[in-house]
Amino acid sequence: MQRLRYGIKNSRVWHLCSHDIEENKSMTLDNWTRYRGKFREIYYLNDNIKFLEVDHFNHVFKFFDANIRSSNIDDFKKYFKLYLKYQEVR
């Protein structure tokens, strides 16, 4: 499995990040929602707490304080850092 090759344990993280959605649409998986724009994606917890923003134009991503599990944060980081080769900004 490709997600295990990158050390991503939570298959929901892989599915949420890799599933193709149209621009200006959203995808919800459990309590995570992903909104997609032309160059930017924003991930929300329970549809109102932003926890991750991905800038595809500059190939960077940034986490916000949102009280999500550290293991899930690690899996999101692995997806964007190892799989997409993006850089995390603080």
Q: What is the pLDDT of residues 3-16, one digit of tens each?
A: 889 999 999 999 99
pLDDT of residue 89: 96
**What is the extent of the structural domain holding 9?**
2-88
Q: What's the whole-model pTM score?
A: 0.93
Q: What is the pLDDT of residues 56-88, one digit of tens each?
A: 999 999 999 999 999 999 999 999 999 999 999
Count of alpha carbons within 13 angstroms of residue 76, beta-carbon side = 23
pLDDT of residue 78: 97
Helix, strand, coil % over all residues of the chain, rounded to 5: 30, 30, 40
* Number of domains comprising the chain: 1
Q: What is the pLDDT of residues 26-60, one digit of tens each?
A: 999 989 999 999 999 999 999 999 999 999 999 99
